Amino acid sequence: MTEAARTGRGIALEDLQGIRDRVRLRKPQRVTLHAWSFHQLGHFIAYKAARAGVALVWVDPAYTSQACSACGHVAKNNRPDQETFACTSCGFAEHADVNAARNIAARGETGWAVSHAA
């Protein structure tokens, strides 16, 4: 938050409403997932952003972990394992979380531009 306020940048978050309804997991994983409060965390961040005067935009989370942040190619095979992202189209490789964060940031910039147009 401090960095965003200092640099005049905004924050992009995935809109994870209904995530619990969309995933199909085994029981031990469901227990862990249901212990997470995505909604509450998002609202805490939104509250802090508003207090700090930092812009916040919610983005569609669809395929952020499967899309290549370099070329845009989307494929399930781009994720050979949980932590690795390797694009099957252009060969770009990165830690999966970093690649997804780049995709979220790009969608945030697009969302910010659209919401402030005209």
Q: Do the beta carbons of residue 68 and residue 88 sit within 8 Å?
A: no
- The domain spans of the chain are 1-59, 62-118
- Collect all residues with Cβ–Cβ distance below 8 Å to 2 and sequence separation of at least 6: 52
Question: What is the distance between the alpha carbons of residues 67 and 113, in angstroms, rounded to a whole number?
Answer: 21
Q: Running DSSP on this structure, what letter comes out for residue 1?
A: -
- Per-residue burial over 22-37, b if 16 or more Cβ lie within 10 Å, else e, is eeeeeeeeeeeeeeee
Task: State how far the Cα of 23 lies from the Cα of 33, in Å rounded to an integer.
Answer: 9
In order along its 118 residues, the chain shows pLDDT tens digits of 889 899 989 999 998 776 555 556 566 666 565 556 777 888 899 999 999 999 999 999 999 999 999 999 999 999 999 999 999 999 999 999 999 999 999 999 987 766 555 4
